[in-house]
Every structure is written in structure tokens, then in C-alpha cells.
Chain A
Amino acid sequence: MTASTARPSRQEVRRLFEQYQQTRDPAVRQRLVDLFNNLVLFLARKFQNRGEPLEDIVQVGYIGLLQAIERFDPGRDLEFSTFATPTIVGEIKRYFRDKSWAVKVPRRLQETMQRAGQAQERLQGRLGRTPSVNEVAAELGVPPEEVLEAMEASPAQRTISFESTGRGAEDEGLELNERLGETDENLERVELQNLLQKAMSHLTPRERRIMYLRFVDELPQAEVAKRLGISQMHVSRLQRAAVEHLKRELPAASV
């Protein structure tokens, strides 16, 4: 990817996107990538100093940029940078979530963070909700500042060992590596799930939470309202808005 310092004009961006939509010409796509290099760099730098090299974060950002280029509709009255930012940030967040952070963090903080992760899981099971920092600290017998310090040194990212067992009810007791190697018959569902996950990254944290509570945890609106400390009618409104938002973000064929 070559660096570009030129500010793209709206007209040029629009023209290139229209051309790319019609031709799918890789050279046009590359021109678009070059024009938005600086957007990727800008966003990637926000995630610097978390134990991962900037250039790796930038590369992940480019994956998000390419996805955004594929999905952008120049007919919509929307700046490309506005459209692409959630996709690029979502991709970088996913990278950190999936990536080991082990190497460059001081051992004391690594240990605190690992213990905090375990305590968090224990507490989640016990409380039925995500524990607060204070609750994690109390569980570990350390001041909240120490948990925060460990978190600041690196985000709460952990690798999962292939020898560990997962939490799925069907595969209870099986190690992760025992579950690998078979062709998944539900690839289409996976693809759809992937699209949905990307679309979800466009929602606000609150909308995302409502969607998870309603459709993953399958809680009734009244329970969601209680958990969020808002009225049931407000939940209903936010849910409707979130669904509309998702419909706009998902490609037409998948809705």
C-alpha cells in the first residue's frame, strides 16, 4: 500500500466509486485504497501502544477499508469516510479481541490481567452479568487501580489454548483442537452471521446491547428495560431504530 497525502475531492471519490461499481476493476479499487490510506493510518494510531506493532494494526485496517470499498454505495448521500470508519474500527477491535497480547506487557500486569480475566468469568457465572471493575478487584483482593493499570497496559485480550475446552453444551469436555478439521455444512449461515456482525458494528453500544439481550439472550423487553434502567417503551423504540439501522447496513440480498 503506498502512502498518499492528497485530499480526495468529493467528485473524484464519487466518480471512482461509480466506475468501480460498474467495472470492479482492481486498478480503480487500488486508487481508492491509495486515496484513503490516511484514514486507515489515522484510525490505526488510536489503537497504538497496546503491544501490537502499528504496521500490523494498519494492515488489519486495510482489510476494513477494502470491505468498506466493496459495500459503499456512491448513490447514497454519505461521505465515504463516514461510512468506512465503523468498518475499519470494527475490524481493528476484532483483531485485538482475537489476538494474543502476551509478549510486551510487564509480567506483573500480565498476571493481574490473566487473573482478572479468570475472575471476570467466575463472577459472570455467579452474577449472571458482566462484573464491574470494582467487583473484579474485590474478587482478586487487589485495589481497582491495579486492575485498571493492567488494563491500560493492554486491552483485555487473551488467546485460547487449543487444549482448552469450550463452553458449548454439545461439545462439553472436548478440546478445541478436537473440534477442528471438518467441513462446516452451514457456511452460508456463517457468512450471514459475519455480515450481521459487521452491520452490528454500525450500531451504538447501547443499541448493540439491546439487540444482544433481545435476540441472543432472548430476554423479554420488560427484562431488558429493567436491566438498562429505562422504560419498556424506550427499549421498544431503540430496538426498532436498531433493526432499521441494521437493514440499512446489510446488503439487500441478505435481508
Chain B
Amino acid sequence: MRDTAHQITELKLPAREEYIVVAKRAAGALGAVVGFSLAEIDDLNIAITQACENAVAAATDQWGKGNGQLKLTFKGQRGKLEVNITSTPPRAVELQQTPAPAVRPVRRLPREESLDYEGIGLNMIRLFVDELRYQVDDQGCMRMRMVKYLID
């Protein structure tokens, strides 16, 4: 994809640990499409796995084990892959909700990191991708945006 416009791939998964491998596999394949090397895909896989673990934990806290969903959006562009991961409510809850405002206030996670594994996990992700943004909105949905650049 070195010379093409950006392509979007979306993936919705149950918020359960055993589905993280699907996200990892998709990320690996899409990384290959963008043109990443093996080492870059290895780094991406570690970041995606950790990000999904954080999202599963957020969904479990909010809606109970296995009830929430993970939504992954991969945007492959010239020279980079952007991955957005969101923990979303179960379908039934989603249908009952009134439409959300276009811009919803978000809260950032507190910066206490004394063996706070969420925080440590985020620090680790930063070692494997070039950009990372992390937010949890007022309804408990976690959103993470990561960008990894093609270095050659």
C-alpha cells in the first residue's frame, strides 16, 4: 500500500480475552499490507495485544464479563497504520441509548502509576508505536488511538 490512498478496515469482537488473537492476526496482516517489516509487525502485535487487554478490562468493569464489544478500526495510509480501539456497550444497551452528542466530554485517566497495570501497559505500548492517545469517556467507553509509521 506504499502508494495508495488510505484504506479502512473495521473489526467488531466480543470483549473477551480469547478474541484478542483475532485482533492481533488482523493487525499483522494489515501491517503487511502497509509494508511493515517482520520486526515492525512483531512490535505492532505486542502493542495491539496490550491495548485490547486494556479494552477488555474496561468493558468488563463497565458491562460485566463478555458483555461488551471491542471495535477496532485500522486505517492504512501511505507510510503508516493507524489503529483505533474502542470498548463499546453490549448491543442491547446500545439500542436503548438515546443518540450520543457529537462531541462527548472525555476524562483522562489519572496519572497514578504505582503498579497500576493499566498505566504500565500504556507505557509499554508507547515503546512499540509512535503515537498513542488514550481516553475513557463519561460512559466508561475506552478509546485508544495508536499510530505506527513505516520506517523505510
* A residues in contact (CB < 8 Å) with B: 7-10, 13, 36, 38-39, 42-43, 46-47, 79, 81-82, 85-86, 89-90, 116, 120, 129-134, 136-137, 144-145, 147-148, 151-152, 155-156, 201, 204-206, 209, 227-229
Contacts and interface: CB of A to CB of B under 8 A. Distances in A.
Contacts of B126: 204
Contacts of B24: 152
A130 B43 CA distance: 15
B29 A144 contact: yes
Contacts of B151: 130, 205-206, 209, 227-228
Contacts, number: 116
Interface residues on B, range: 35 or more
Interface in B76-91: 78-79
Contact of B28 (A137, A148, A201, A204): A148
B100 interface: no
Nearest to B53: A46
A204 B128 CA distance: 7
Pairs A-B, 4 closest by C-beta atoms = A133-B32, A129-B152, A132-B35, A209-B151
Given A133-B32, A148-B29, A85 B123 contact: yes
Given A39-B120, A42-B120, A81 B128 contact: no
Contacts of B152: 129-130, 227
B113 to A, nearest CB: 4
A36 B42 CA distance: 26
Nearest to A209: B151
A10 B114 contact: yes
A132 B37 contact: yes
A9 B113 CA distance: 11
A208 to B, nearest CB: 9
Contacts of B29: 144-145, 148
B70 to A, nearest CB: 18
B41 interface: yes
A69 B29 CA distance: 39
A147 B149 contact: no
Contacts of A38: 115
Contacts of A8: 114-115
Contacts of A43: 120, 124
Contacts of B42: 151, 155-156
Contacts of A46: 46, 49-50, 124
Nearest to A7: B115
A33 B43 CA distance: 27
Contacts of A155: 42
B114 A81 contact: yes
A52 to B, nearest CB: 14
Nearest to B147: A206
Contacts of A39: 115, 120
Interface in B103-121: 113-117, 119-120
A143 B96 CA distance: 45
A155 B45 CA distance: 11
Contacts of A227: 151-152
A122 to B, nearest CB: 14
A89 B124 contact: yes
A133 to B, nearest CB: 4
